[in-house]
A and B are shown apart, each in its own frame.
Chain A
Amino acid sequence: MTQRNKETELDVIHTKIWREIPEPDNPFAAAKCYCAGYDVYGEILQKASWAEYLYLLFKQERPSESEALLLEKIAIAIANPGVRSHTVRAAMCAGVGGSTAASALIAALTAGAGNYHGGHEVSQMMQWWSACKTDLNQWKKQIENPPAIKRAEVWSDMEHIPGFDPHGESCSLPTRQTLDVLEKTSDGEHLKWLIANRETLEDVADMPLHLTGVIATAFMDLQLQPEQGEILFLLLQLPGAAVHALEQEKNGWRKYPFFGNAVNLLNDPGPNTA
């Protein structure tokens, strides 16, 4: 039998976000929960909006009215990436096969996590913002000479300028509408600068701004760190993934694209080898 390690008994979770007071009859049941000092069930639940609470969780401070509104607008803008997006398609593949609810969301997170229209793209663009700030010359320099990974990592190098659409012909209407609404809501400088310089950046990048770029920029206005932006982007896309997975589960696999004739083998030895 392994000896109990005394150090283990002292293990605690260090947090600036969460505090609990136990029920008098059970040390494992919380009577009071505090988020950044605010009573969650005694006060926040009654008085705060979802966006205010979400902001509090990330920043441990209450948002201003405009910050809460900006976060709410971001959440609406990306709540459903749409039924054709890779994120939602991954969730629907789980749905049509009758997979678990959690796997549908994990699937959506996976396809929504990457360098192409995903969470990692958001954090990459936020890092570009940190490096280039609102200096057009810096942006031009970085677009012409983008940073590369020096020591191999689990992520690949970006294959396009983060926040822009390598398959886009022009900046899409929803992207422009989102940029417009978020800029009007925000007190920050990044969205304003992006509106003013969008077309110049698009010319230099030789591709249009994508919605991920707008969201990354809005996260800069909320003064979030790149890793916060990445994880919040992932989180806020899940509602669309969830409902489309549920819908396709009901529809069934027969009504969902299987791409039956879409795979073209370049090196088929033919049936005679069998």
Chain B
Amino acid sequence: MIIMSKSKQLLDAKDNWQTDMGAMFPGERVVVRGKDFFTELYGMSWMGLLLYYITGREFSENELEVLDQLWMLSINYPDPRIWNNRIAALGGTTRSTPALSIGAAICVSEANIYGGQANVAAIDFIKDAKNKIDKGLSLEEVIKKELKEFRVIKGYGRPIASKDERIEPVLKMLEEHGYADGAHVKLALQTHEYLKESRFRMQINITGLAAAVGADIGFSAKEYYTWTVVGFTGGITACYLDSLNHEQGSLFPLSCDRISYEGEQERSWD
């Protein structure tokens, strides 16, 4: 059998997963990014470990607290009307399992109008904006270019309500931890002022502010987004449990007349 160049890549990887991320030695020890897990990383918080996996860096207690508080204040409401939360609540009301309900809700959090897609685009924008401004562009030029190319600026504007109630408490928390004056946070707030006064009438939302904090902490867009993925779990879990404790099938029941049919009229298959 002749093995050519392209399939050779798979052949080389056959039973040969080369990695510096880590591995377990069953019954003995575990290695994480070149360190002995049970000795060198003993005592690390779960958040610290998650970030160590994502970035390969160890974070200070203050940084970990800021990131923990961002999750706590921003994306963990116990409200089943929020679309990702509602998945878990629907899982609860239909007596599905916790893992299915919470897992599916996390998947759904990778949304465009909020959540994953908005998070990754928001940090990409604010880092890009700062780079451009550092190179001499004005904020106005950066915003106009962004809107011309993408029509939206992720992190500004909000479905349901224009003002984001999380901005104030998060700013307070950032001040307490010395993060309110970061270069990206300041730029995000300047962008907010510009957009609020412009014809777009958009205000900063928590996605925009949190992304700026992420940029100030030094995340790449990919690192930041990966970190946010499981951040929604608290509110999702609350919605699952709340639903589980109600009558089965009783979450926002829809009677037949709640369907607004806008399609073809009745017709015969023959």
Q: Are B7 and A168 in touch, CB under 8 angstroms?
A: yes
Does A168 lie within 8 Å of B6, measured CB to CB? yes
Give 1 or 0 for each of B23-43: 1 = CB within 8 Å of chain A CB: 101001101011110111000
A30 to B256, CA, bound (A): 7
* 4 cross-chain pairs, A with B, having the tightest CB-CB distances, nearest first: A16-B263, A37-B264, A152-B124, A267-B34
Within 8 Å of chain B (Cβ to Cβ): is A173?
no
- Chain A residues whose CB sits within 8 angstroms of the CB of B259 once the complex forms: 12-13, 15, 18-20
Binding site for B on A (CB under 8 A): 11-22, 27-30, 34, 36-39, 43-44, 47-48, 60, 62, 100, 102-103, 106, 150-154, 165-169, 207, 259, 261-269, 271, 273-274
Residues of B contacting A38 with CB < 8 Å? Answer: 267-269
* B256 lies within 8 A of A20 (CB): yes
On chain A, the residues within 8 Å of B29 by CB distance are 271, 274
| A266 in contact with B263 (CB, 8 Å) | no
B53 to chain A, nearest CB (A): 14
Q: How many residues of B contact A (CB 8 A)?
A: 63
The answer to whether B36 and A27 touch across the interface, beta carbons within 8 angstroms, is no
A106 in contact with B22 (CB, 8 Å): no
B198 at interface by CB-CB < 8 Å: no
Q: Which residues of A contact B123 (CB under 8 A)?
A: 152
- The answer to whether B100 touches A106, judged by C-beta atoms less than 8 angstroms apart, is yes
Q: Which chain A residues border B25 with CB–CB below 8 Å? A: 271
Contact residues, B119-138 vs A (CB, 8 A): 120-121, 123-125
Find chain A residues with CB under 8 A from B150 CB. 150-151
Distance A151 CA – B10 CA, assembled complex (angstroms): 31
Contact assessment for B254 and A150 in the assembled complex, using a CB-CB cutoff below 8 Å: no
Residues of A within 8 A of B258 (CB): 11-13
Contact yes or no, A19 B263, CB < 8 A: yes
- 6 A-B residue pairs with Cβ-Cβ distance under 8 Å, sorted by A, are A13-B259, A29-B256, A34-B261, A151-B150, A167-B10, A262-B15
Instruction: Please indicate the chain B residues that have their CB under 8 angstroms from the CB of A150 in the complex.
Output: 149-150
Question: Are A154's CB and B116's CB within 8 A?
Answer: yes
Asked if B267 and A22 make an inter-chain contact with CB atoms under 8 angstroms apart, the answer reads no
Chain B residue, CB-CB nearest to A11: B258
The reply to whether A15 and B33 form a contact with Cβ atoms under 8 Å apart is no
- Which residues of the other chain, B, contact A27 by a CB distance below 8 angstroms? 255-257
Chain A residues closer than 8 Å to B260, beta-carbon distance: 12-15
Q: A14-B260, A27-B255, A269-B31 are in contact. Are A263 and B121 (CB under 8 A)?
A: no
Tell me if B161 counts as interface (CB < 8 A to partner A).
no
Give chain B residues whose Cβ lies under 8 Å from the Cβ of A39: 266, 269
A22 to B260, CA, bound (A): 14
Take A103-B99, A152-B124, A269-B31 as given contacts and tell me if A60 and B255 are in contact as well, using a CB distance cutoff of 8 Å: no
Interface residues of B in 230-253 (CB under 8 A from A): 253
**Cα–Cα, bound, A39→B107 (Å):** 34
